[in-house]
Amino acid sequence: MFEHELDRAMAQATVPIVEEQIGFWWERRHTRESIAWLPNSGSSRIALLPLRDGNCGWTEFPDDSNLLEAGNFGRESDVKCNNILEAMGNTPLIRLNRVTKGLPAEIYVKADYLNPGGSVKDRIGVWMIDEAERKGLLKPGGTIIEGTSGNTGVGLALVAAVRGYKVVFTITDKQSREKIDLLKAFGAEVIVCPTAVEPEDPHSYYSVAKKLAREIPNAFYPNQYENPMNPEAHYRTTGPEIWKDSDGKITHFICGMGTGGTISGAGRFLKEQNPQVKIIGVDPVGSLYYEYAKSGKIGKARTYVVEGIGEDIFPGTMDFKIVDDVLQVSDEECFVWARRLAKREGIFTGGSGGGCISVALRLAKDCKQDDLIVALLPDTGSRYLSKIFNDGWMREHGYADSEVTLTAADVIRVKYQNGKTRNPITVGPNQTVFHALSIMQQQDISQLPVFEGDESIGTVFEDQILNLALQGKELRKLIVREVMGAAMPQVPSNAPVERVTHILSHESPAVFVEMENGKLEVLTKFDLMDTIAGLVGQVR
């Protein structure tokens, strides 16, 4: 059975697991449960397995495919690891209890933020580097260079620290300060590149990483966007873990899509076990994925704030064939749900995890009693302490996280009840400034929207007109178009009242609320003060 006596000797002895010593003869493989070492040169019918005492033993199995069934070995709760890399994976599946009250289906989270580097990306760091070493693409003392939103960097930096490689990362300037500091803590060099440039731009973080990889000698560029080991890591570990821990009962897998590695790899494994499992992608408004999945069209990407999910490119690691549906999330719902999850379930994840929970809760409403939803939580909330979990930051950006969710339409409703609403009073762009001033005085208002047909194109303000008069300008000769400022900001009827408050204090003294019937209603600071006290009482 053994082609090489050496294989036999190593397999039968219990030897300490030291990668450098056995890596030459043995190939590292991840199984459903753990890590196994297969002989590179000899028989493929034995596997060398890590034991809990730090030594290793061996097992026989009929062929390579059965390795997954070879038994429950390796890491257990009291595991002793030979290095931090062995502590990766096997993250728990945790049931949500409070936020799911009254819903027919159960929601579990796959808590990948509990990986040693704090994210799901630990998994692909090891897999991409193992493969590069096997293929001779990365040699001792080499440099790993990657464009990363932060988490893949940490995964790679952990491998580099354990195995003695240098690391350089390019990162976009929208990433949180904590992520950059974290990469530096592991000894990485970090180059911050602009977010608001096209991917092909020479300053984009993709382009800079590629250029450095060409220029630095003995450099390896894992390129998580095209590296098949990215989805493979999830096919071999994340997917099997979820299948096993849900006892094969999972009906929906909900997962954010960045490179697409997680959803494509874990999703493929789950579909192979049961083709009925629905694989649902979560995509932020502004990313290209949603429109592409729905219509096959490549739209125009817009910037959004949530980190790690959504793309302005189509990576080779994203496999749309296994995705059954894609649901969109706003930045705000990602952040609000990340905060609620911490407060109500003690689960501390970032915005992309919050987005997955928001989608899981939306879906759960229409699920059956025995449906079992698994939502992936990619990274830890501690990466976002200065953003999502900072009340000041949330307020400044107009994100609302209140228990009583008042909307702009609620305020308008109370205005109606108080008999205060009237059709917006407007002025045309070619009317005189004097005319505009007379309207404001007659109606006792201090700003006037300018409309051209149905379109709101500007605003004139009482203060501004008085200043013009003081400067000696002839108000009967000036027309509105010449002096008007920007159009009033517009919010949808379901905008939280906190967003309206933010606009009123920072941007404009009045906003338009676009009601469900398409009519525009004006909301001012005065309206808010006038209505809000009574309104809170009513809604509570």
Ligand X SMILES: Cc1ncc(COP(=O)(O)O)c(C=O)c1O
**Rounded least distance, CB 76 to ligand X, Å:** 27
| Three-state DSSP state, 304 | coil
61 φ, ψ to 5°? -150, 155
Q: What are the beta bridge partners of residue 220?
A: 144
Nearer to ligand X, 46 or 334 (CB): 334
- Under rule CB under 6 A, residue 352 binds ligand X: yes
Q: For residues 134 and 138, give the distance between their C-alpha atoms in angstroms, rounded to a whole number.
A: 8
DSSP percent split of the chain into helix, strand, coil, nearest 5 = 40, 20, 40
- Under rule CB under 6 A, residue 387 binds ligand X: no
- Binding-site member from 256, 267, 381, 458 for ligand X (CB under 6 A): 256
Tokens coding 235: 């096919």
Q: For residues 534 and 12, give the distance between their C-alpha atoms in angstroms, rounded to a whole number.
A: 79
121 belongs to the catalytic site: yes
- Under rule CB under 6 A, residue 378 binds ligand X: yes
Distances (CA, A) of 53 to 26, 37, 75, 258: 20, 17, 11, 38
Kind and range of the H or E element at 45? Answer: none
- Binding-site member from 345, 379, 514, 527 for ligand X (CB under 6 A): 379
- DSSP one-letter code for 4: S
- Binding-site member from 7, 33, 307, 527 for ligand X (CB under 6 A): 307
Number of chain residues interacting with ligand X (CB under 6 A): 19
Q: For residues 395 and 391, give the distance between their C-alpha atoms in angstroms, rounded to a whole number.
A: 6
- Under rule CB under 6 A, residue 223 binds ligand X: no
- Under rule CB under 6 A, residue 257 binds ligand X: yes
- Under rule CB under 6 A, residue 227 binds ligand X: no
- Under rule CB under 6 A, residue 121 binds ligand X: yes
Nearer to ligand X, 271 or 415 (CB): 271
Task: Give the interface segment with ligand X, choosing from 200-208, 303-311, 336-344, 455-463 (CB under 6 A).
Answer: 303-311
- Under rule CB under 6 A, residue 86 binds ligand X: no
Nearer to ligand X, 283 or 410 (CB): 283
Nearer to ligand X, 353 or 398 (CB): 353
- Under rule CB under 6 A, residue 149 binds ligand X: yes
- Binding-site member from 125, 261, 354, 496 for ligand X (CB under 6 A): 261
CB-facing half-sphere around the CA of 7: CA atoms within 13 A: 20
Task: Give the interface segment with ligand X, choosing from 254-262, 286-294, 357-365, 512-520 (CB under 6 A).
Answer: 254-262
**Rounded least distance, CB 522 to ligand X, Å:** 40
- Under rule CB under 6 A, residue 152 binds ligand X: yes
Which one of 110, 121, 179, 271 is the catalytic residue? 121
- Under rule CB under 6 A, residue 380 binds ligand X: no
- Binding-site member from 151, 237, 246, 459 for ligand X (CB under 6 A): 151
Q: For residues 291 and 286, give the distance between their C-alpha atoms in angstroms, rounded to a whole number.
A: 10
Distances (CA, A) of 104 to 100, 107, 371, 374, 401: 9, 10, 8, 14, 25
β-pairing, 447-452 vs 455-461, is: antiparallel
Instruction: Give CA 237 to chain center in angstroms.
Output: 21
Interhelix angle 177-185/151-163, nearest 10 degrees: 10
- Binding-site member from 258, 354, 458, 496 for ligand X (CB under 6 A): 258
141 φ, ψ to 5°? 80, 0
The per-residue DSSP string of 296-347 comes to: S--------S-SS---SS--TT--GGG--EEEEE-HHHHHHHHHHHHHHH--
- Binding-site member from 50, 142, 350, 449 for ligand X (CB under 6 A): 350
- Under rule CB under 6 A, residue 354 binds ligand X: no
Q: Which positions lie near ligand X, rule CB under 6 A?
A: 121, 149, 151-152, 256-263, 307-309, 350, 352, 378-379
Residues annotated as part of the active site: 121
